Chain A
C-alpha cells in the first residue's frame, strides 16, 4: 500500500503534516497528569478546607480552559452527581449509625431482623455522625469535580491519539463510548417529549420507565451498529495486531491489575504489599509502553506530541501530591479531619501551599498560541 501511495505522490515535493493545536490549551497528557495529581491530592488532604480549595482550582480550570462542545457541561453535571451521591450516603449513614455523640433529634425507628443484620434504621440523628459523613461525602464531590474538570478541558480525540500503539484500539473504544453520552442525553429528551406528545400533553406515570428506556436503548444500539459498520468500511483494524502489540497489551493488563491490587492493599492499610504491587505495576506499565513503542509505528495524522512546556507544566502539577505526601509523613494533623471530638477543620500554610502547583496549567498559557 505504501509504495502505491508514494508512487502517486511522484516527484512532487510534499510535507509531512505538522502538529497543529486548534485550541489554546495544554496537551491532553498534561490534563491527564493534572487530573491524577488533583485526585491524589483529594485523597491525601481529605479535610474539607483542602477539598474546598481543590474544587475551586477545578472550577478555575474549567472557566479558563473549557472547550466548546458536548462536554462543556461535564463539570456541573458531574459535580451535581457527586453532591447527590454524598447526600444519599449521608442520609443512609445517619439513619443507621447510632450511639456516638450529641443527638440532634430523634425520628421513628425500625429494628431490622437479625437476618438482615439487625440494624436500627431511623432513631437518633447524631451530630458527629452527620458531620463526619458529610465531610467524607465532600471528598467524593472533590473527586467528581476533578474528573468533571478533566472532561471539560481535555480533547478526547487527542487523548486517544497520544496512547501507545497497543492501547490505541482500547482508547478508541473508550472515546466512541464517551461520544454516546451526549447523544444518549439528547435521545432521552426526545423520548420524554414524544411520550408526552402521544397523550396530548397528559403525563402518565405508570409504565413510564419502560416507555422511556426501551427507545433510548434501541436508538443507542442502532447507532452503535451503524458506527461499527462505518469503521469497518473505513478499514479499521485492517492491519491486525502484531505479536508485539499483543505482548504489550497483556503486559499492560497485568500491570493495571497489579496497580488495582496496590490500591486495595492501600485501603486495607497494608503498606508493604501496597508498595510492592504499586512498584511492580508501575514498572510493568512502563515496560508495556516501551514494548509497544518499539514496534512499527501506526500511521498517524498530525500526531500531537508533548512539548517541553507541556512536560514542565505536568511536572509542576505533580509537586502537589508529593508535597502533601511529605506533609502526611511529617505528621501534619490538619490533612484529615474527624468530627469527634468536634472542632473546626484547621488550615495549615504548608499543605495549602502544596496545592498551589495544581494551578500551573490553569493560570499558565501555552506560548505561541492564540
Chain B
C-alpha cells in the first residue's frame, strides 16, 4: 500500500480563475524521501497541502479527486484527524509555535491526541533526541536562530511519531548552517525511523542528493516521479554540478560535488582559463566607509570596517549569520549611525537598501503602483524608469497583479524594483535570493549586472555563493565584525568554504555559463 496516494486531484483556490492543480496522480511509497521541485506558483505548496487535508479543509475552494493517507481519505478526515499519521511543516518557522516553551510546544500534539502522561514523556524525550534539540528544551522559541526554530517545528510535527512528514521549503528562510542542520535531521529520520518524507525545495544543491525520487510540478501539472539525476538533468533549477554534467555530456549527470569530481578525474576537461570578468576597477568611487564601528546591545558588531564601492562594482558580502553583514548594509544606507567612523558618498550619490523581508515594504494593490509609489514619495514626475525596472526584473507580466498574492521570490523582485527605481546609484540588497526559484534568480542576475554595467554599483549581502559566483566582481568576507578577506571574487571564493560548486570541480571556473562559453568558443 502506498503511504500517500493521490488520484486525479484537481483543485482551485476560492476566487481563483486558474486551477492550482490539475489531474494530479502521485503514489508515495512508505519510507521514501520524495523531493518536489517546481517554480514559484507551480502548485508545489498546494500539492503538499493536499497530503494532510489542509487543502481543501483549511483553504476552501473547488476540490476533485481522492487523496488517501495511510488508508484514510482526506475527504472525510480533517487535518486534525490525520495528525497522528502526517506531520506538516510550513515555510516560516517563527509563526508555527503555539507555546512559548520548546518542550511544551513539542507536547502540544500529544496533548491533543490524548496520550497518557508517561507515554507523552517518553515521546518528548525521544523527539528531542531525534532532532538533536535536547539542549534547547527550556528555551523560548522566539530566542532561537532560524535553523534551531525550524528543527523545533519539525520536532513539534514529529512528536506523535507520524509515519509521514510533509515539509514545504523548510530551509528557504535559513542560512546554510541552519539548512544543513535541518536537512541532516530529515535524512536521519528517514534513514533510522523509516519516516516517509515529502519535501519541497528551491535550492537543490543540498536537497537533491538526499532524495530517493524527484517529482517536477509545472503549471499545476504533476509529472512522473523519477531518479533525481535523470529527472533533474533537464531542469533549469538543477544544482550547478548537474547542469555542468549535462553541458560536459556526463551521463548520468552528477548530483554532488563528489560525483562530479569523480567524473572530472575520469574524463579530464581541458579548457583554457575563462577571461577575467569585465573589471571596472578604475571606476569612480561612489561610496566609501572608513573605520566603521558599531555596537549593538553592548556587543561589537562591526570593528574598524573599511569599504569602498566604485562604479561598476558588484560586491558580494559573505559571512555566517551574525557576522555583521546586515548591520554593514544598514550603516552604508544611513539607517544606522555608526559608533565611530564615517560613510562618505560622492556628489550626493545615494545608497538604497532592500531589506531581507520584502513584505515589510509592499502595500499597494498592484505591482506597478508599488514601484511608482517610490517616485511619488520622492516627488519625481518622470515615471520612465518604472518600465525599465519592471523589465529588468522580469516583472512586466505581473504588473497588474497584487504584490501580496505573488510568491516570495516575486515579492523580493518587486521590493528591489520599488527601491531601485528611486535612482540611487548604489543598491544594497540584503539576502536577495531568499525563497527565489531559478527563474527569479536569473531575472535578479540580469538586473544586477545591468545596473552595474550602466554605471551603478550593487552590494549583495548573501549566503548564496552561487549568486556571488554568477554576479560578483569583488567579494568581502566578514567574520565576527571584521573583514576577513577582500578582493577579486574569483580569488576570494577559490579554496574557501564559500566556493561555489563549479569552482570546486573545475577551478578556476565559477559558473556553468563560463564553462559553456569556453566550450562553444571556436
Chain A interface residues (CB < 8 Å from chain B): 1-2, 5-6, 8-9, 14-17, 22, 68-70, 156-157, 161, 172, 175-176, 179, 182-183, 187, 190-191, 193-202, 204, 210-211, 214-215, 218-219, 222-223, 226-239, 298-302
Residue pair A187, B360 in contact (C-beta under 8 Å): yes
Q: Mark B352-380, 1 if CB is under 8 A from A, else 0.
A: 11110101111100000000001001100
Q: Mark B56-81, 1 if CB is under 8 A from A, else 0.
A: 01100000000000000000001111
Residue pair B79, A232 in contact (C-beta under 8 Å): yes
B88 at the interface (CB under 8 A from A): yes
B496 at the interface (CB under 8 A from A): no
Residue pair A229, B58 in contact (C-beta under 8 Å): yes
B518 at the interface (CB under 8 A from A): no
Measured CA separation A296–B119 after assembly (Å) = 18
20 A-B pairs besides A6-B119, A211-B363, A223-B94 with CB distance below 8 A are A5-B115, A8-B119, A9-B122, A14-B121, A69-B140, A156-B100, A157-B99, A199-B374, A200-B334, A200-B351, A202-B377, A218-B363, A226-B90, A226-B96, A232-B54, A233-B83, A233-B157, A234-B98, A235-B113, A300-B111
Chain B's closest residue to A228 (CB) is: B58
Query: Given A183-B94, A227-B98, A233-B52, is A2 in contact with B117 using a C-beta cutoff of 8 Å?
Result: no
Chain B's closest residue to A191 (CB) is: B360
Chain A's closest residue to B404 (CB) is: A218
Residue pair A236, B80 in contact (C-beta under 8 Å): yes
Residue pair A70, B142 in contact (C-beta under 8 Å): yes
Chain B's closest residue to A233 (CB) is: B88
Return chain A residues, CB-CB under 8 Å to B90. Answer: 226, 229-230
Residue pair A194, B355 in contact (C-beta under 8 Å): yes
Among B97, B98, B110, the most chain A Cβ lie within 10 Å of the Cβ of B98
Q: Mark B154-184, 1 if CB is under 8 A from A, else 0.
A: 0011001000000000000000000000000
Residue pair A234, B359 in contact (C-beta under 8 Å): no
Return chain A residues, CB-CB under 8 Å to B108. Answer: 231, 234, 236
Return chain B residues, CB-CB under 8 Å to A15. Answer: 118, 121
Minimum CB–CB distance for B449 against chain A, Å: 22
Residue pair B117, A299 in contact (C-beta under 8 Å): yes
Residue pair A17, B120 in contact (C-beta under 8 Å): yes
Residue pair A14, B118 in contact (C-beta under 8 Å): yes
Residue pair A199, B335 in contact (C-beta under 8 Å): no
Q: Mark B131-159, 1 if CB is under 8 A from A, else 0.
A: 00000001010110000000001001100
B350 at the interface (CB under 8 A from A): yes
Among A157, A226, A299, the most chain B Cβ lie within 10 Å of the Cβ of A299
Q: Mark B262-302, 1 if CB is under 8 A from A, else 0.
A: 00000000000000000000000000000000000000000
Residue pair A199, B113 in contact (C-beta under 8 Å): no
Measured CA separation A175–B94 after assembly (Å) = 16
Chain B's closest residue to A15 (CB) is: B118
Minimum CB–CB distance for A217 against chain B, Å: 9
Residue pair B104, A204 in contact (C-beta under 8 Å): no
Measured CA separation A302–B140 after assembly (Å) = 17
Return chain B residues, CB-CB under 8 Å to A214. Answer: 363
Chain B's closest residue to A6 (CB) is: B116
CB within 8 Å: A-B pair count: 213
Residue pair B112, A236 in contact (C-beta under 8 Å): yes
Q: Which of B11-19, B416-424, B460-468 contacts A (4 or more CB under 8 A)?
A: B416-424
Residue pair A234, B112 in contact (C-beta under 8 Å): yes
Chain B's closest residue to A212 (CB) is: B363
Return chain B residues, CB-CB under 8 Å to A2. Answer: 114-116
Return chain A residues, CB-CB under 8 Å to B143. Answer: 68-69
Residue pair A176, B98 in contact (C-beta under 8 Å): yes
B333 at the interface (CB under 8 A from A): yes
Return chain B residues, CB-CB under 8 Å to A172. Answer: 98
Return chain A residues, CB-CB under 8 Å to B142. Answer: 69-70, 182-183
Minimum CB–CB distance for B379 against chain A, Å: 9
Return chain B residues, CB-CB under 8 Å to A226. Answer: 90, 92, 95-96
Residue pair B84, A197 in contact (C-beta under 8 Å): no
Chain A's closest residue to B138 (CB) is: A22
Chain B's closest residue to A168 (CB) is: B111
Return chain A residues, CB-CB under 8 Å to B330. Answer: 193
Measured CA separation A229–B166 after assembly (Å) = 13
Measured CA separation A194–B363 after assembly (Å) = 12
Measured CA separation A204–B117 after assembly (Å) = 57
Return chain B residues, CB-CB under 8 Å to A16. Answer: 117-118, 121
Return chain A residues, CB-CB under 8 Å to B361. Answer: 191, 194-195, 198, 215
Return chain B residues, CB-CB under 8 Å to A227. Answer: 95-98
Residue pair B100, A301 in contact (C-beta under 8 Å): no
Residue pair B117, A301 in contact (C-beta under 8 Å): yes
Residue pair B378, A199 in contact (C-beta under 8 Å): yes
Minimum CB–CB distance for B364 against chain A, Å: 9
Residue pair A230, B404 in contact (C-beta under 8 Å): no
Chain A's closest residue to B143 (CB) is: A69
Q: When the two chains form the complex, which single residue of B94, B96, B100, B354 contacts A197, counting CB atoms closer than 8 Å?
A: B354
Q: Which 7 A/B pairs are nearest by Cβ-Cβ distance?
A: A235-B83, A301-B107, A235-B112, A14-B118, A214-B363, A200-B350, A233-B88
Return chain A residues, CB-CB under 8 Å to B95. Answer: 222-223, 226-227, 230
Among A15, A161, A236, the most chain B Cβ lie within 10 Å of the Cβ of A236
B515 at the interface (CB under 8 A from A): no
Chain A's closest residue to B92 (CB) is: A226
Return chain A residues, CB-CB under 8 Å to B96. Answer: 226-227, 230
Return chain B residues, CB-CB under 8 Å to A223. Answer: 92, 94-95
Residue pair A233, B104 in contact (C-beta under 8 Å): no
Minimum CB–CB distance for B347 against chain A, Å: 14
Return chain B residues, CB-CB under 8 Å to A215. Answer: 359-363
Q: When the two chains form the complex, which single residue of B54, B92, B97, B377 contacts A233, counting CB atoms closer than 8 Å?
A: B54
Residue pair A234, B157 in contact (C-beta under 8 Å): yes
Residue pair B374, A201 in contact (C-beta under 8 Å): no
Query: Given A6-B116, A200-B424, A300-B111, is A235 in contact with B99 using a C-beta cutoff of 8 Å?
Result: no
Minimum CB–CB distance for B198 against chain A, Å: 13
Return chain A residues, CB-CB under 8 Å to B81. Answer: 235, 238
B87 at the interface (CB under 8 A from A): yes
Q: When the two chains form the complex, which single residue of A157, A176, A190, A302 contacts B357, counting CB atoms closer than 8 Å?
A: A190
Return chain A residues, CB-CB under 8 Å to B83. Answer: 233-235, 238
Return chain B residues, CB-CB under 8 Å to A233. Answer: 52, 54, 79-80, 83, 86-88, 157
Chain A's closest residue to B58 (CB) is: A229
Among B52, B121, B354, the most chain A Cβ lie within 10 Å of the Cβ of B121
Return chain A residues, CB-CB under 8 Å to B352. Answer: 197-198, 200
Chain B's closest residue to A234 (CB) is: B109
B442 at the interface (CB under 8 A from A): no
Query: Given A199-B377, A200-B424, A230-B90, is A17 in contact with B333 using a C-beta cutoff of 8 Å?
Result: no
Measured CA separation A229–B56 after assembly (Å) = 12
Chain A's closest residue to B105 (CB) is: A157
Return chain B residues, CB-CB under 8 Å to A300. Answer: 111, 117
Q: Mark B223-259, 1 if CB is under 8 A from A, else 0.
A: 0000000000000000000000000000000000000
Among B112, B350, B354, the most chain A Cβ lie within 10 Å of the Cβ of B112
B446 at the interface (CB under 8 A from A): no
B261 at the interface (CB under 8 A from A): no
Chain A's closest residue to B330 (CB) is: A193
Return chain A residues, CB-CB under 8 Å to B54. Answer: 229, 232-233
Residue pair B80, A237 in contact (C-beta under 8 Å): yes
The B38-63 residues at the A interface (CB cut-off 8 A) are: 52, 54, 57-58
Minimum CB–CB distance for A259 against chain B, Å: 29
